[in-house]
Amino acid sequence: MSSISTGRMIDVSSDPVKGRVVWMPAKSVWISAMTPVAIIGGPLTFTWSAFAVFILLTAITICLGHSVGMHRLLIHRSFSAPIWLEHLLVYLGTLVGMAGPFGMIYAHDIRDWAQRQRDCHDLYAHRRSFFVDAFWQMHCAVALDRPPRFVLEERERGDRFYRLLEATWMAQQIPLGLLLFTLGGLPWLVWGIAVRISVSLTGHWLVGHFAHRNGHQGWSVDDVAVQGYNLPRFGLVTFGESFHGNHHAFPESARLGIEPGQLDLGWHFIRLLAGLGLASAIKLPHTIVPRKGLKRIEISEEAGGAHPVAQH
């Protein structure tokens, strides 16, 4: 099978299709421990202050941490920031509870590599039914028969802070949990840790599931296994991450909500950083090299459908 090398994934006669889905014990136990605590403990410990802590911490860790720090900065290098700020944002992204920085890079890059091939395993494509995909994505991984070689960049591999976060990413909840318990007791602890992590991980999967199956599509890419779709109604609560069709079209862009009316709070935060002199070398759709096979899709009212009309 002919494959395509992308970023940190180096092809060595790799095959993105053949492999088996394997249960990941640590990953599964982690989410399985958080979810029952959230479902049972959340209602029992509910207070408005605990709910406010949940909203605030979710916004900070998902928007500033995951979307801006992990995804746009560390993984895609869509802008540059001082190393202390990069470390802070990636630390906040680690607090989301998905993985450490290296684990997040690998999970993103192997999926991105697979989706760019002509075909890929069903797990990478979110092709299976709703509940099967939920179990696969949150409790399992694909063990490919012939995987690509994963090579971290030197600035990532040699960063001591990232190595520490990678080794202790689950334990990073402990200092935050102690602080929450000290300030607000059990309600703040349950809502600030278990409920937040459960909602964040489940929400991350839901966006990935639906944004790779159907929705608004302003762009298409030829000869790839998986297309990306936009979920405009969820732009606000995902801080711009639901505009996944745009992201497939322009993976290195710091701005995900590129169409009129697409609210992207992550992009507005990057603009704020730029105004403060803390973000530079910002990549946008018109400043990056277009993907091969990228086509604009326009809605034809006469034909009543979406049609790719031109290569970007």
What's the pLDDT score for residue 184?
Answer: 98
Residue 48, judged by CB atoms within 10 A of its CB (0-12, 13-18, 19+), counts as exposed
Question: Is the per-residue pLDDT at 308 higher than 50?
Answer: no
CB atoms within 10 A of CB 276: 9
What's the pLDDT score for residue 11?
Answer: 78
Question: Is the per-residue pLDDT at 210 higher than 90?
Answer: yes
Residue 48's pLDDT band (cuts 50, 70, 90)? very high
**Of all residues in the chain, what percent carry a pLDDT higher than 70?**
93
The three-class DSSP label of residue 266 is helix
Buried b (16+ CB within 10 A) or exposed e, 151-174: ebeeebeebeebeebbeebeebbe
For residues 100-106, give the mean pLDDT: 97
Q: Please give the C-alpha separations between residue 312 and each of 37, 74, 296, 300, in angstroms, as whole numbers.
A: 48, 26, 7, 18
What's the pLDDT score for residue 3?
Answer: 53
Backbone angles phi, psi at 219, to 5 degrees: -145, 155
Is there a contact between 147 and 110 (Cβ–Cβ < 8 Å)? yes
Among candidate residues 226, 197, 219, 231, the one with its CA nearest the CA of residue 311: 219
Angstrom distance (rounded) from CA 92 to CA 65: 4
Question: Torsion-angle region of residue 261: left (phi > 0), alpha (psi -120 to 50) or beta?
Answer: left
What's the pLDDT score for residue 220?
Answer: 94
- The segment with the largest mean pLDDT, out of 80-89, 217-226, 297-306, is 80-89
Angstrom distance (rounded) from CA 73 to CA 59: 17
Backbone angles phi, psi at 99, to 5 degrees: -175, 175
What's the pLDDT score for residue 298?
Answer: 73
Q: 216-274 pLDDT, tens per residue?
A: 889 999 999 999 999 999 999 999 999 999 999 999 999 999 999 999 999 999 999 99
Q: 1-13 pLDDT, tens per residue?
A: 445 556 798 877 8
Between residues 4 and 166, the one the model is more confident about = 166
Of 13-17, 122-126, 131-135, where does mean pLDDT reach its minimum? 13-17
Angstrom distance (rounded) from CA 298 to CA 110: 30
**Of all residues in the chain, what percent carry a pLDDT higher than 90?**
89
For residues 277-303, give the mean pLDDT: 84
CA 168 to chain centre: 20
Question: Is the per-residue pLDDT at 158 higher than 50?
Answer: yes
Is there a contact between 33 and 236 (Cβ–Cβ < 8 Å)? no
Q: What is the mean pLDDT of the chain?
A: 93
Question: Is the per-residue pLDDT at 212 higher than 90?
Answer: yes
Please state whether the predicted TM-score (pTM) of the whole model is above 0.85: yes
**How many residues can be counted in the chain?**
312
What's the pLDDT score for residue 301?
Answer: 36
Q: 53-80 pLDDT, tens per residue?
A: 999 999 999 999 999 999 999 999 999 9
Angstrom distance (rounded) from CA 247 to CA 75: 13
Residue 278's pLDDT band (cuts 50, 70, 90)? very high
Angstrom distance (rounded) from CA 214 to CA 212: 6
Listed by start position, the domains of the chain span 9-311
One-letter amino acid for residue 152 of the chain: L
CA 192 to chain centre: 21
Question: Is the per-residue pLDDT at 175 higher than 70?
Answer: yes
